[in-house]
Amino acid sequence: MSHDFFNIISREEFESLLASFSATDAVQVPISDAFGLVLAADIISPEDLPPANRSCMDGYAVNARDAFGATEANPAYLECCAELKVDENPDFTLKSGECAAIATGGTLPEGADAVVMVEHTHELGSGTIEIRKSSAPGEHAMLKGEDAAKGDTVFRAGHKVRFQDVGLLAALGIKNVSIHKKPRTGIISTGDELVKIDSPQKVGTIRDVNSHTLRCLVSEAGAEPVNYGIVRDELEKLKSTLKQAVAENDLVLLSGGSSVGMRDLTVQAIESMDDSEILAHGVAISPGKPTILGRVGGKPVLGLPGQVTSVQVVMLSLVMPFIRHIMGQKNAFSTAARPLVQAELGRNAPSKQGREDYVRMKLIQRENEIPLAQPVYGKSGLLKTMVQADGLMIIPADTEGLYAGDTVSIWLI
């Protein structure tokens, strides 16, 4: 058993290596399918939105000057010259002293620059409308180009498309956008002890958990998982499966090599490929130290711990941000987007200086106080420790731990 395979680098250095891989190719997709994916090109507004002044309320289109200063006690009186349909393009100009009934979304006629809500009006009959509230230009109306002006850069390449962005794209009449395609992600489990999950329980075998959890986390990150099943600890078999997976995917994840010998096998398999290179072998995080990063013909290959809980943490901390990076997301490794809750640490959490620790934490809700965060008890290899965890607490590499009573940020998982 050799231990010289580690050449531990910091998490930041490992991320820099990951960040050197390029994003997947751009493809055009309908905007609803772009939800959650990352724009490959800037979006320029092709037109003014709205194309004309438009009402935000049911009420009366007015020239704000005509209603200025109106109150319940001292109303203004306007003549209603039209009842505008919501889909009507009014072909007249509102004159001073006139108003026009309008519905939400309706287009204001020329000469109108505000809307008085129907609640603040009263129909007196024979076309006279009592206006009981003062108005100001632009009030209850969206002005031409107010949402987006023609030529505006609405979104930049690298922006992840959210539901509200899909809404704005739809309003601008943009049917398809260019996004980085979902990375196809090959998943290989390795280990002589591994059996399929429907195998009967047998001492000496372990069911292949990682194929399933990695599948979930790869799709959660936005990529398309492709499972290659279990490969036994044989170099030739691993080489042929890895070769196929590299050919068919944008990214390959190998998990396993829980034993030292097997980690060597992963390195050997990567190195045996044409145009390949080991970029990193070991990262100063716990769990996750034995993580391997290789490059085969320009494509990234990650060798992940086989230990069923360690690999989950490494997926969360390194691989899922990396997937978002190769999906084209700007600042994919930034921790700013992580959902955090502030909590009070319930007990001391010691840590080794020089490595970043990801500690499984349980949150206990309390009345009128921030939650109490307790490290999850139990051996780190137990799956139940992840099941019981509400989140992870990160102990930075430059500290020796955190103290009971400290306010800490818990990353919800």
Q: Segment 25-44, which members bind a second copy (CB under 8 A)?
A: 31-32, 35
Closest approach of Cβ 151 to a second copy, in Å? Answer: 14
Which of 12-20, 125-133, 162-170, 244-252 is the region at the interface with a second copy (rule: CB under 8 A)? 162-170
- Dig out the tokens for 376 from the structure: 């999850």
Among 381, 400, 403, 404, binds a second copy (CB under 8 A): 381
Question: Min. distance of Cβ 356 from a second copy in angstroms?
Answer: 20
Distance CA 188, CA 402 (A): 37
Among 224, 383, 399, 405, binds a second copy (CB under 8 A): 383
Binders in 287-326 for a second copy, by CB under 8 A: 306-309, 312
Kindly tell me which of 298 and 381 has the beta carbon lying closer to a second copy: 381
Asked if 408 and 389 count as a contact pair (C-beta separation under 8 A), the reply is: no
DSSP string, 227-285: EEEEE-S-HHHHHHHHHHHHHH-SEEEEE---SHHHHHHHHHHHHHSTTEEEEEE-BSE
**Among 127, 151, 167, 298, which residue interacts with a second copy (rule: CB under 8 A)?**
167
Judged by CB under 8 A, which of 96, 125, 198, 369 binds a second copy?
Answer: 198
Determine if 189 is a binding residue for a second copy (CB under 8 A). Answer: no
Is 208 a binding residue for a second copy by CB under 8 A? The answer is yes
Cis peptide before 50 (omega within 30 of 0): yes
**Residue 74, number of CB atoms within 10 A of its CB:** 9
Among residues 125 and 200, whose Cβ is nearest to a second copy?
Answer: 200
Distance CA 213, CA 344 (A): 30
* CB closer to a second copy, 273 vs 408: 408
The rounded distance, in Å, linking the Cα atoms of 228 and 210 is: 12
- Give burial (CB, 10 Å; 0-12/13-18/19+) of 311: buried
Among 67, 80, 209, 292, binds a second copy (CB under 8 A): 209
Q: How far is the CB of 111 from a second copy (least distance, A)?
A: 15
Q: What is the bridge-based pairing of β-strands 251-255 and 299-304?
A: parallel
Residue 235 interacts with a second copy (CB under 8 A)?
no
Q: Rule CB under 8 A: is residue 367 a binding residue for a second copy?
A: no
Q: Is residue 124 a contact point for a second copy (CB under 8 A)?
A: no
- Cα 52 off chain centre by: 34
Q: Does 404 bind a second copy (CB under 8 A)?
A: no
- In terms of Cβ atoms closer than 10 Å to its own Cβ (0-12, 13-18, 19+), residue 115 is buried
As measured in angstroms, the least distance from the Cβ of 192 to a second copy is 5
Phi first, then psi, for residue 396 (nearest 5°) are -60, 155
CB of 165 to a second copy, least distance (A): 6
The 67-106 contact track toward a second copy, x by CB under 8 A, reads ------------------xxxxx-------------xxxx
The DSSP output letter for 139 is T
Q: Of 212, 237, 239, 330, which one interacts with a second copy (CB under 8 A)?
A: 212
